[in-house]
Amino acid sequence: MSQDNKSFFDFTSPFKLKRPIEIFQKSQKDQFYVLKQDKFKLKTFVLQRNYLIKFSSKKPKQQFYNITNSLLEFVHHPLMGTGISITKNGENITFFGLVENCYSNLRKWCIQLNFQKEYCMIKLIGKGSFAKVYKIQRLSDKKEFAVKLFDKTTFKCQDRPALLKEIELMRIMNHKNVVTILETYENEQYIFIIQELFNGGELHQELKKTKTFSEYGAFIIIQQVIEALNYIHSHGIIHRDIKPENIIMREQGMIEQVVLADFGLADYFRKDCKYMFTRCGTPGFVAPELLQDKIYDYKVDIYSCGILFYYLLLGKGPFDSNNYDQTVMGNFNGWVDLTKFQFSIECLELLRGMLDPNSIRRFTIEQIQQSSFFRKYSTVFQQNTSQSSLGSIQSQGDSITNSPLQSPILEQKKFPSDLKNKYENSQVSSIQSPMRLNTRNYSPLSAQLGKIQNLQRIPIQI
């Protein structure tokens, strides 16, 4: 893509910032040469996430640059050699020196143009309505990655802000149990999102093979998902689409190395609940307050994680049905009957705490981590120094008996009588990929409580 063509990532936000950015003491400082008045002068630079800070050698004054989605390129000067050019909204900063390490740090936040010169396609490994996923190889060192390939020619006007938000959120991520973006490229037709290559596949694919997990096996997975949620919540982000399809294993059968993926429905938490997507998620995994058009918070992720926990133990969700309306109706009420299952007391207590339809009573992350179930199996996990695999984790038996603990009787909410006409008729089973609920530009503050409007079903994105 030539620089003259309009980029998908064009912004009106300024490149140079007037307000100062806090400079942390431990931030690494590097010196590079900048051309000024036909002379190269040595300047000190600091890169803090998506901000580049340039110091003057003679003045205490600094210049601050927001490099998010800037065009990043290598340039060459006959005397100074290789340099870095950063361009945004018609403004540019170029500097020379030992720039390779700096370039590696910048490319997570910037846009590059030369994908075909850096990578080669190996094979298609995933396909969705919005993107294709390919296994690729970096030409310089033969290391393999994954790339999500978006066709710009198929985008609708409302798709652009959604993808920009997803990219923004994923760039922030830096946790072993959360997927992140390594690089972003663009040409005339495509956007290339480079990510780590996970060879283990999706968790729901393994569930088709193993059917169920033991309590210990479920713990190994759930405690990692809780760690991931704790991390993203600490950054003010809610995920809103926790399910087996969005839990990825780094290596085949290695359940102690899972990653939370797909931030297509994630957003920064807002107290007023006015999100880009307000009512969204996957039928059967959504927190009931979200379907009931109530104000919601981070605890919607806890409920979905509780459904995932249930799914791991039983091989299906509590609201699974061949009838889509029945799935959503059960999910709308949010009540899960645990009286007929033979699990440990600790397991049942945790399930009830995570699946409480009342978000006020529902467990917090801290309560989950301090639960007797987590304490019990954390000790076992720490004592087990050998790596666990799917083959070594005992599956839960299929026998169902009455539990020694009875679930509290909760009054089911009346399901709106006109809801059935709001949905499309289709089937959702425990072995098929569920569809997303997705209503754009909708806030529960502007509609009657308990009434679901304009509900659309959108295929799962890869």
Which parts of the chain have pLDDT scores under 50? 3, 385-392, 394-415, 417-436, 438-462
193 in helix, strand or coil? strand
Cα–Cα distance, 373 to 364 (Å, whole number): 14
Q: What pLDDT score does 59 carry?
A: 61
**pLDDT tens-digit readout, 186-225:** 999 999 999 999 999 899 888 888 889 999 999 999 999 9
Q: Is 29 annotated as a binding residue?
A: no
**pLDDT tens-digit readout, 335-344:** 999 988 899 9
Q: What pLDDT score does 58 carry?
A: 63
Q: What pLDDT score does 325 carry?
A: 92
Cα–Cα distance, 439 to 287 (Å, whole number): 15
Q: What pLDDT score does 383 carry?
A: 75
274: nearest Cα among 456, 439, 423: 439
Q: Give strand pairing partners of 73.
A: 85
Cα–Cα distance, 344 to 201 (Å, whole number): 30
Q: Go through the domains of the chain in sequence order and give each one's CATH number.
A: 16-105 (2.30.29.30), 115-195 (3.30.200.20), 201-458 (1.10.510.10)
- Which tokens is 218 given? 């479920």
Residue by residue, DSSP assigns 365-377 as HHHHHTSHHHHHH
362: nearest Cα among 292, 307, 313: 307
Note if 241 is an active site residue.
yes
CA angle 202, 364, 280 (to 5 degrees): 50
CA distances from 199 to 212, 259, 413 (A): 21, 12, 43
Cα–Cα distance, 147 to 191 (Å, whole number): 10
- Which tokens is 225 given? 């998902």
Query: Which of 241, 262, 320, 325 is flagged as catalytic?
Result: 241
pTM of the model: 0.81
Question: Which stretches of 229-351 are assigned E, i.e. beta strand?
Answer: 237-238, 247-249, 258-260, 267-268, 277-281
Note the Cα 60 to chain centre separation in Å. 40
